[in-house]
Amino acid sequence: MAKACVLQSTLLPAYSPLHKLRNQNFTLSFPPLPVSRCRPGIHCSVSAGETTTRSVEEAPEISWGCEIDSLENATSLQNWLSDSGLPPQKMAIDRVDIGERGLVASQNLRKGEKLLFVPPSLVISADSEWTNPEAGEVMKRYDVPDWPLLATYLISEASLQKSSRWYNYISALPRQPYSLLYWTRTELDMYLEASQIRERAIERITNVVGTYEDLRSRIFSKHPHLFPKEVFNDETFKWSFGILFSRLVRLPSMDGRFALVPWADMLNHNCEVETFLDYDKSSKGVVFTTDRPYQPGEQVFISYGNKSNGELLLSYGFVPREGTNPSDSVELALSLRKNDKCYKEKLDALKKHGLSTPQCFPVRITGWPMELMAYAYLVVSPPDMGNNFEEMAKAASNKTSTKTDLKYPEIEEDALQFILDSCETSISKYSRFLKESGSMDLDITSPKQLNRKAFLKQLAVDLSTSERRILYRAQYILRRRLRDIRSGELKALRLFSGLRNFFK
């Protein structure tokens, strides 16, 4: 599970469905390698026939990579990196409590100490030399953007096995990652029915498969000798994109370029750590600076960014312990009411500002954004407030230049009640799943599938528990605010009645 920090990127293919993908990452270059013009044998256990007939209950098998907790392959990677120019390290790969594999301190580490120093020659980027140069030339001739280019590069190098310079690195990559990109549709529907992260996972899978189909129709089908379908197919693209989503890093000091950084991507995430990978110009290597001291044998962490538990599960396949992630949030879906007399006018206002119905907004343990409140105002606003629809939709889209809170006292109670109803509807879905989760998967007899299902279910239970906890907090805050509003109105009514009786 050890991954490098992944930051958001806008470097998405303009021609591909991948422009919709969220939380992206990546690149850098190293000296060219001597390569042979002939293509070595290719290896892959996923055939074109298998991708169309495989049971939806089974995750596909990839012939390269290793089990996610394999130390043998990781140790071989460390030895190869050392032989290839990686400086002596103050950390070593070991089994760890958080992340199966990770880097642990092999000596005392001080706070503020720079570590790693991975040279550019050991970094994979869109500029990397292809072992099969003809395939690389074709991809660049078509001006393929970095994401699909790197995904194709990984598959090409992986299929060449020991003929590729990156054999030791690819052998240490997980063969079957637990990121949601690698869950089946049945698993997503069964375990994540209550969470909005399910929709994002389905969208991501659809976009990855769509990007593969685009590459296949535009490039692969025209060069089948370079990109045979038994190697380059939707399943192997899910694997390669899964690797990119979970291990690609952005290096700010190299003009924001993105890269796969072997060895560094064995570092695991800690929600309390605030240190990231970057390129150090003085040492000419990729480094990170410790933000705390470490004792020998203690696992060393970096941050993957300020991500919610759902986002961490989506890309990395793990959920932090409940209450340990200060960046945690849950997406709450709000919708216009179909029976609203102004439904069309409100929907037009939303579409004008890039919004839809339903629309998701993040809710944190500390509250919710102004945009969510603006959307709620729009939903409950009566016809005589039609002149305000535009203002509300604009505020809900975060495109307004003024950041002051939008206030409509006359409909605030209705808006808060609408948000509360939406929260409680979502809470009921989480509660139903958590109640029913104990009886799931009892009909599975395969030990391998049973272990996988049990693990995925536990991830879903952990995510649902943490997201429901946030909604419970929002429910409490909303009920208190509504109580205060209503008690204030009652006091005002009593005062008015008292004054009226007095003057009578």
* 204-232 pLDDT, tens digit each: 999 999 999 999 999 999 999 999 999 99
Q: Is 294 annotated as a binding residue?
A: no
Give how far Cα 205 sits from Cα of 90, 241, 297, Å: 38, 10, 38
**Residue 153 labelled as part of a binding site:** no
Please report which confidence band the pLDDT of residue 54 belongs to, taking 50, 70 and 90 as the band edges.
Answer: very low
pLDDT for 380-428, tens place per residue? 999 999 999 999 999 999 876 665 678 899 999 999 999 999 999 999 9
Beta-ladder partners of 124: 260
CA-to-CA distance for 464 and 340, rounded, in angstroms?
A: 32
User: Between 55 and 72, where is the model more confident?
Assistant: 72
Domain shared by 84 and 129, yes or no: yes
Q: What is the pTM of this model?
A: 0.83
Both 413 and 298 in one domain: the answer is no
> Is 225 a known ligand-binding residue?
no
- pLDDT score recorded for residue 48: 30
127-158 pLDDT per residue, tens = 999 999 999 999 999 999 999 999 999 999 99
Q: Which of 254, 286, 316 is the last residue of a domain?
A: 316
CA atoms within 13 A on the CB side of 422: 26
SS3 of 411-449: the string is HHHHHHHHHHHHHHHHHHHHHHHHHHHHHCCCCCCCHHH
Same domain for 200 and 234? yes
Q: Report d(CA 75, CA 69) in Å as an integer.
A: 12
Residue with the larger pLDDT of the pair 177 and 434? 434
268 is in an annotated binding site: yes
Give the per-residue pLDDT at 56.
38
**What integer is the mean pLDDT of 472-482?**
96
pLDDT above 80 (res 38) = no
Q: pLDDT averaged over the chain?
A: 85
Is 304 annotated to bind ligand?
Answer: yes
Q: Is the dihedral of CA 283, 285, 291, 294 positive or negative?
A: negative
The CATH number of the domain where 483 resides is what? 3.90.1420
DSSP one-letter string for 274-301? ----EEETTTTEEEEE-SS-B-TTPBPE
On whether residue 50 sits in a domain, the answer given is no
Structural domain that includes position 370: 329-503
Same domain, 304 and 423: no
Q: Which residues contact 216 (CB under 8 A, 6 or more apart)?
A: 227, 229, 232
**239 and 372 share a domain?**
no
Residue 296 shares a structural domain with residue 419: no
Residue type, 384: D
Is 204 annotated in some ligand binding site?
Answer: no
469 phi and psi angles, rounded to 5 deg: -60, -40
Q: Please state, as a whole number, how many other Cβ atoms lie within 10 Å of the Cβ of residue 256.
A: 14
Residue 247 marked as a ligand binder: yes
Tokens standing for residue 41: 């044998």
Q: Going by C-beta distance under 8 Å and a sequence separation of 6 or more, which residues neighbour residue 427? A: 468, 471, 472, 475
pLDDT of residue 503: 58
Q: Please count the residues of the chain.
A: 504
Longest dimension (CA), the chain: 104
Name the 3-class secondary structure at 454: helix
Q: How many domains does the chain have?
A: 2
Same domain for 339 and 257? no
Shared-domain flag, residues 286 and 238: yes
- Kindly state whether residues 125 and 238 are assigned to the same domain: yes
pLDDT band (50, 70, 90) for residue 499: low
Average pLDDT value for residue range 453-477: 95
pLDDT tens, residue by residue, 356-376:
999 999 999 999 999 999 999
